[in-house]
Structure 1
Amino acid sequence: MPSIKLSVLDLVPLFENKDAAYALGQAAELAQTAERLGFTRYWTAEHHDMPGLACTSPEVLLSHIGARTGRIRIGSGALLLPHYKPLKVAESFHMLASLYPGRVDLGMGRAPGGQAHASMALSGNFIENIAQIPDKLRAITELLEQNYEYDGYPVTARPIPPEPPELWMLGTNSKSAAYAAEFGMGYVFGQFMSDRDGAEVLQSYRNAFKPSPRCPGPRTIVTVGFVCADTEEEARELAAAGMSLFQSNISTEELAALAARKLLAGTPEALTMRLEEMSLQYGVDEFMLVTMIPDYRKRLRSFELLARSMWSSGGLQTQDKERGGFNGR
């Protein structure tokens, strides 16, 4: 049986007519719950001018989350690199890594994270910014290794933490996988957003990987959408309700077909078995879970049910089972 690590990706959604302050409070509760259950990481995404999501600045939220947790790794999933200068990115995550040593991940992505006008208001011409991605990735790796120069002069991203952030590239296709391989960083495949063959994309990353001081060998995570409930019927209903928030004007049948492609929905036992199968299929030992159940309590329970099932099967691997694992609370 595969030994699997579970992590959380939080989009920080606004549900139940609650405001952003409430949603951010629920983000902290999700991170604390994930830590108690033995999850490896809590990552939060970045989006701009999207009414249903409350996180525009992962580094600010992560500072809040880090102060309210003690062991779980915290990171961005993803910081949208086209919008930012490498030095500012490195400084922000060096600050986090100095506050929470050995716990910080810098996950980067290439998406705009919002509609065109929001993207332009944030950083100008997005197409031009995308073209700079290789140079930005190179600069960030040099800044984290403290060997960066600008116009021939050394520049250091301060403060210098005891341990630099882990570097990850997130994506849904071979382009992002190629960047991760070229710059010697971990790769996270977003299955919940992709119609690509995940096994093929991950293998392309492994084949092209170039070792780096930070990452001597390829490291992979697969992000999956999931809904876990006591019964199959309830899981399907919750999945459809979550998908309907982002897919309007489509039929119930189309919604069900979309949910089946984009996420796993079922009982704890069924999802445990499916993750174990996917671990072998994709050659990964870590899954990052995201769910858009439009009910905060049921969202937490979905994570709890799956973690309990994984513990019972002996398939859940944590950084610290004795302190971090599910304890029935």
Structure 2
Amino acid sequence: MKIEPLKLSVLDLVPVLEKANATFALEQAVELSQTAERLGYNRYWVAEHHDMPELACTSPEVLLAHIGAKTDRIRIGSGALLLPHYKPLKVVESFNLLASLYPGRVDLGMGRAPGGSAHVSMALSGNFLENVRQLQESLRGVTELLQGNFEFEGQRVSARPIPPVTPELWLLGTNIKSAAYAAEFGTGYVFGQFMSDVDGEEVLHAYREAFIPAQHSPIPRTMVAVGVVCADTEEEAQQLASANAAFLLKEYDTGEPSQFSERKLLVGTASNVKKRLEQLSLLYDVDEFIIVTMIPDYQKRLHSFELLASALWNV
């Protein structure tokens, strides 16, 4: 099987690093998106979080409108928009508007996490657990709105504006349950390896086996989200990775740090990280990875993405 060239994309949590403020963090998000476009990364996605002082993006669609205006070609999307907080109509209206502004460039990546504390979730959308129980109905609403066949009380309702190219639909998750939802509704599936302890090979296989073709996606599509830290030397990469691991453990992980470093975070020189990505590509049968890099220095974060692009594509 040919495994090169791999496709790489960027998942930005939009961190507010020490001594920075939210305005500066958002400026760095723009710089990262422009750097990713220049280097040849396929997508730039932003994550949604609420009432977290160390993360600046509470509204992916607002930030993406700005990112789209500051870039020319790279695909832009949410990774993830947290669907249980919202009505499907509002979600699709927002992303149809983005897709009308930036035709052929917009991804709607959805998730079912709360993205914050219990109290902020209740303040945002009420009974979050009940909203999660209604996730299948919400996913059905999103897909029907994108396909133009959504009805409410017997009346057709459209999510306008209608873009020339429909947003590409993805579901992000960390287990077989999320993979089953993606398969049922014919969305692409992103396995979040950087925040999961389960067997990714098994999860992706389950998604492909259960996949039901849909109008917006006739074949299964897969990505893997993985933590990466690259530096000029192995020693420097390990030093930078310790802060990366500490942050991601705090936000996403319940396992031991050693498990985190081995399973969820690829660390080293770009040539070594490239080899590990190629091995994962064969194991998971995917050709695209979306990279999460939480180095506590904005310029060294950019350099990590530059090193990896150079190793993979000689840019």
TM-score normalised to structure 2 length: 0.96
Question: Residue type of the partner of 2:3?
Answer: P
Match of 2:30 in 1: 28
* Aligned residue identity for 2:174: T
- Deviation of 1:257 after TM superposition, in Å, equals 5.0
Distance in 2 between the 1:12 and 1:223 partners? 16
Query: For 1:288 and 1:191, how far apart are their aligned partners in 2?
Result: 10
SS in 1 for 2:212: coil
Q: Distance in 1 between matches of 2:248 and 2:213?
A: 39
Alignment partner, residue 156 of structure 1: 158
| Distance of 2:231 and 2:95 partners within structure 1 | 36
Partner of 2:187: 185
| Aligned pair partner of 1:95 in 94, 97, 114 | 97
The answer as to whether partners of 1:240 and 1:256 remain within 8 angstroms in 2 is: no
Amino acid in the other structure paired with 1:34: A
Aligned equivalent of 2:279:
277
Paired position in structure 2 for 1:86? 88
Q: 1:245 Cα deviation (Å)?
A: 3.6
How many Å separate the matches in 1 of 2:147 and 2:313?
A: 38
Aligned residues: 308
Return the offset for 1:262: 1.9
| Pair 1:60-2:62 in alignment | yes
SS in 1 for 2:180: helix
Matches within 5 A, 1:1-329: 1-3=2-4, 4-245=6-247, 247=249, 255=257, 258-312=260-314, 326=315
Where does the alignment leave 5 or more consecutive residues of structure 1 unmatched? Answer: 249-253, 313-325
C-alpha separation in 1, matches of 2:177 and 2:39: 34
C-alpha RMSD of matched pairs (Å): 1.1
| Structure-2 separation of matches of 1:99 and 1:196 | 38
| One-letter identity of the residue aligned with 1:163 | V
Kindly provide the amino acid, as one letter, of the partner of residue 179 in structure 1: Y
Percent of paired sites with the same residue: 68
Secondary structure in structure 2 of the residue aligned to 1:107? strand
Q: Structure 2 vs 1, CA of residues 281 and 98 (structure 1 numbering), >3 Å: closer, same or farther?
A: same
2: CA distance, partners of 1:268 / 1:246 = 21
Contact 2:10 2:292 in 1 (8 A): yes
Q: What is the CA distance between 1:311 and its match in structure 2?
A: 1.3
For structure 2, the 5+ residue unaligned runs are 251-255
Higher relative contact order (CA 8 A, sep 6+): 1
Task: For residues 223-247 of structure 1, give each alpha carbon's deviation from its aligned partner in whole angstroms, at most 9, with x where no partner exists.
Answer: 0000001111111110002223455
Report if aligned partners of 1:240, 1:255 keep a CA contact under 8 Å in 2. Answer: no
* Structure 1 position 259, deviation (Å): 2.3
